[in-house]
Structures are given as structure tokens and as C-alpha cells.
Amino acid sequence: MKILFISSEVAPFSKTGGLGDVAGALPAALAALGHDVKVVTPRYRELRDAARLTPTGQSLTVRFPAGEASGPILSARLSAHLEVLFLENEFLYGNRDGLYGDAWGEFGDNARRFGYLSVGALQAAQRLGFVPDIIHANDWQTGLVPVALQRGFRATPLAHAKSVFTIHNLAYQGHFPKSVMGELGLPWELYTAEGGLEFYDQVNFLKGGLAFSDALTTVSPTYAREIQAPEQGYGLDGLLRRRSHRLHGILNGIDAHEWDPQADPFLPARFGPHDLTGKAACKRELLKRFGLPDGDAPVFAIVSRLAWQKGMDLLLDVLPTALQADIRFVGIGTGEGPLEEGLKALQARHPKQMAFHIGFDPALSHQVEAGADFFLMPSRYEPCGLNQMYSLRYGTVPIVRATGGLVDTVEGGLDGNGILFETFHPAALLAAIRRALALYADPPRLGEFRRRGMEKDFSWDASARKYEALYADLMAE
């Protein structure tokens, strides 16, 4: 099968969140199954591993009513069946820091930037003679891909491809003034509320992907159900209910090679499900790294964007009470200013119990997952989540709200591998923390929780096979 995979970010070359991880891992897993996969993404200024890029000798031109945009196509061949193509354009991608915005907010020309990606990715396939069976787009930045396939590429070999569109987070939709219809040359008959691009007198790129794709997926089964209800549908639940027969929830996987406590180069000691002695050494080193006193107190941790979605305000409400017990709290994250300041203030009041690193440090995040006893994810909503899977793999018991992918991966109860709470309320989170303290006081039961979590398989292999089956069903239609 030939698969064209289009994403605005692809790890390890570019990443702001889970989309980058998925766009790096899923194509690799599909290629490992023997499929011919080409990934298309922008060539940003802050591109990592730029030395791996080579010119393809091909370029593309996208004609907009206000003027054309063009640029070369670069390549990074990752394996025999996997190639990443980069669309280069100095004005759209190369002359700025950040992928979607900067300290001043979202870039004002994002509609044009990602319109170029959507049309340019299809052109790139044509230029290189790649005729895909499946064209897989992701999130609002590529929402115009299925639209372009149906309207602009009907007379090309690409018209025979089936389109798949994945929703990684429905809350981010790509809203733009309706003037972008003319600026991008989009037919005005598509500006309709019923099955078109119009959304409360604006253009909605995500809606285009939802309305025009042959199949829709999202990143966990529970999230696929949740977004069909008003609370998490963000105004698109009606469209999703109408297309529910085309909507599939496929759980994300994790990179089982990068996140392996038995071989992790970032850890001071290795460990596995049948020998947890190395985890105690990781805990001692973690406390030392954060400047906290060693001892037998349980360590609670977060590695998170400090954001409303992640429930960090709920955590700030609960921590003052939780820190009255003999616990330690460590974390890594960056995000909304008031949340950063709140954590700093708490750290100042509890310097012997709490330490927080503002920023992102990949090595330290591995050490936190390995050295902590409990990992907190009190999310308001969570399409999939990856850290709870990292935690389970590292024998760190996750404490999560029962939503989205969290409830699909963490098993509660006496014979579970984690602790779940239902209601988004301080009392519910505090009760979950107290259950964790009771679990910590029972070492044999804690050991069983850890082992059950570590024996779960969250690798991309199973998820890739589900996508493979979906693709095959579409091709058979």
C-alpha cells in the first residue's frame, strides 16, 4: 500500500506536542509493516537534524489569487519504505521562529501557510511520481487536504486515493475570517454551515477535514465518543454525529524503544517488571537532582504543559492540602503564566517538599517517569495522552481523571494499575491522592500495581495494524 501522510509537525524534526510524536511514530510503524510511506511537512527555521535533508531536484508552486508561493522539496530518507519530504518557503516558514505562533500570538498568515502545506503536499506527490492509495491528513493545519482532493485534484491520479483525517485535539480548529475564502481561492459554494467550511461566520479548517474525508479517526476510543456530545464537541458534535459511521477511535502508541526502563540511557539504573530494584536508585537520584531530601516519602510528579486543558489549576487547588502530608512533589513544564507563578509560589513555601523545573528537558522527563512513585494527570479532557503510558511502562502509578485516552489505558480498582477519579473537583483529586498514600503504605500491593502496568503493551505495532485494516477497508469500498 502507498500512503501519503501529511502533518504540520513530525518528530524528531519538529514538535510542539503529541501530533509531532504521532507523525514521527505511526508512519515508521506502517513502513515497518512493508508499506511505502511518504510524510510531508514544512521546513521550519528551527528544524532539528537539518543536516539529514537532501534536495529532491523538484519544486512546487501554489497559485493563490493574491500571488503564488513556491519552493523546493527536500527529503530525508529514514528507511527503505519511509521518506520525509519538506516543503521549503522562506516567507511562509523560514523567516520566523515557532511553528504556529510566537510570544505575540498566532501568526496572522496561518491560513496561507497551511493552505500551502495542504495543496503543496499533494503537488509534491505528483512531482515525485508518487500515486498514493491513502492520503492521511492530521488536525486543522491539513484540514484543506480532503477539500483540495475533492475540488482541485479530481482530474489527477490522486483523485483515486482514499482520504483519512485524524483529530488529535478537537479544541484546536483553525478559525479564520471568511475573507480567506477569496485569499486562498476557495470556491464560495463551500462556505456553507451544512457540510461546508462556514462556522459561525468564519472559515473552519478542521471542519473541512471532518466534512470531506472518506474516514475520520481520533486518538482513543473514548475520545471518539466524547466529541460527539456538546461538552467536548466544540460546536462540531452535530457534524461528528452525522458522520459517526465514518469515525474510528484508534489509541495512540508510544515509542517502546525510547521509553524502555530496561535500556534507557538517561537513567542512573535500569529496571524491569520482575526486578524493580533499579527504580529505588532512580528515585534517590531524582530527589538529589531536584535538591529535595532523601527518605521514604512517596514522590508525586507531573511532566506537562501548564494549561487549562491539563487541569493544572485543579492541581494548584489541591497541592497545599496534599503537601500537609509527608510527600514530595516534582515536576517539569511550561505554559500559562499564572500557573507557572502558582507553582513557583508553592515551591517557595515548601522548599523541602516541592521542586519544579520551568521548561522542557527530555532527559529529566525520563528521570521523572522512572524515579517517581505516582504521576498526576488531572486533565479536563485528554484525547489520548502519552505520559500515563510512559508512567505505566516505568512502574510509576498514574493518578488520572477518567476521560478520553486516560480511561482507555489506566485500569482502576483493587486489581488495576492506576488510580482514576471521575469528577473534575478538588475533593475528587484529593481523595485519589489519599488512595495513592494508602497504596504506598502497602508495598506488596504497590509492587503488583507496578508490575501490571509495566507488562502492558502500548507499542505502535497494534495501533499501526488497526490503521492498516482501516486503510484496506477503504480501498475495498
**Rounded alpha-carbon distances, angstroms, from residue 230 to 170, 222, 237, 238, 401:** 12, 15, 6, 8, 19
Contact 391, 453 (CB under 8 A): yes
pLDDT value at residue 271? 98
Residues 149 and 211: beta-carbon distance below 8 Å: no
| pLDDT of 345 | 96
Whole-Å CA distances, 190 to 139, 194, 208, 328 = 19, 9, 9, 55
DSSP letter for 93, please. I
With bands split at pLDDT 50, 70 and 90, how would you rate the model's confidence at 176?
very high
Q: What is the mean pLDDT of residues 65-83?
A: 95
Identify the pLDDT of residue 383: 96
331-358 pLDDT tens trace: 999 889 999 999 999 999 999 999 999 9
Please state, in angstroms and as integers, the Cα–Cα distance from residue 367 to each residue in 268, 321, 395, following that order: 8, 26, 12
pLDDT score for 154: 81
Q: Where are the alpha helices (DSSP H) in 6-131?
A: 18-32, 110-127
Residue 216 per-residue DSSP state: E
pLDDT band at 153 (very low <50, low <70, confident <90, very high): confident
Asked if 53 and 43 touch (Cβ cutoff 8 Å), the reply is yes
CA-CA distance, 285 to 354, in Å (whole number)?
15
Q: Which residue has the higher pLDDT, 51 or 142?
A: 142
> Mean pLDDT across the stretch 78-100?
95
Residue range 426-477, pLDDT digits in tens: 999 999 999 999 999 999 999 999 999 999 999 999 999 999 999 999 999 9
Interval 389-406: pLDDT, tens: 999 999 999 999 999 999
Dihedral of the alpha carbons of 162, 218, 250, 415, in degrees to the nearest 10: 180
pLDDT of residue 155: 81
Query: What is the assigned CATH class of domain 2-253+461-476?
Result: alpha beta
Q: What is the model's pLDDT at position 104?
A: 87
With a CB cutoff of 8 Å and minimum separation 6, the contacts of 88 are: 43, 71, 72, 73, 74, 94
C-alpha grid cell, residue 256: 517502546
> Has residue 103 got a pLDDT over 80?
no
Phi, psi of 307, deg, nearest 5: -145, 160
CA distance 93 to 90: 6
Per-residue pLDDT at 329: 98
Mean per-residue pLDDT, 244-255:
96
Residue 130 to residue 347: CA distance in whole angstroms? 55
Is the per-residue pLDDT at 68 higher than 80? Answer: yes
Instruction: Return the ∠ at Cα 227 (arms to 224 and 231), rounded to 5°.
Output: 145
Q: What is the mean pLDDT of the chain?
A: 96
Spatial CA neighbour of 321 closest among 441, 435, 419, 429: 429
Q: What percent of the chain has pLDDT over 70?
A: 100
In the chain, CATH 3.40.50.2000 sits at 2-253+461-476, 277-457
pLDDT digits (tens, 9 = 90+) for 293-315: 998 999 999 999 899 999 999 99
CB 19 within 8 A of CB 138: yes
| pLDDT tens sequence across 17-55 | 889 989 999 999 999 999 999 999 999 998 877 788 999
Q: Which CATH superfamily is domain 277-457 in?
A: Glycogen Phosphorylase B; (3.40.50.2000)
pLDDT at 264 over 80: yes
